[in-house]
Amino acid sequence: MALRTNSPIVLGIARRLNTYRFSLAFEEPIEPVGSASNEEDVVALMTQIFARVQYHISQNPEQWVLLQPVWPTAADEGH
């Protein structure tokens, strides 16, 4: 969508400080370059986004929450 509308992407990070307090930070905008119809442009933009997310996860891995399964279960594999 950002490539289609030429809209910057702003990544926001919320870090838990204690039971009732959080720190909120926003990254510098990522300016989309190229076209949504060009797969290389889409991959380049997603790579930039994932690199920033990866950095923040590596700084506080205990605060990362995965909201959907990533690894297959035995049921998924037909066992």
Q: Which residues have C-beta within 8 Å of that of residue 74, sequence separation ≥ 6? A: none
pTM: 0.75
pLDDT of residue 3: 95
pLDDT one-digit tens code per residue, 32-75: 999 999 999 999 999 999 999 999 999 999 988 888 887 888 77
Helix or strand run (H / E) with residue 79: none
Q: Does pLDDT of 79 surpass 70?
A: no
Mean pLDDT of 17-44: 94
Q: Does pLDDT of 78 surpass 80?
A: no
CA 76 → CA 21, 67, 73, 79, distances in Å?
Answer: 39, 18, 5, 8
- First CA to last CA distance, the chain: 39
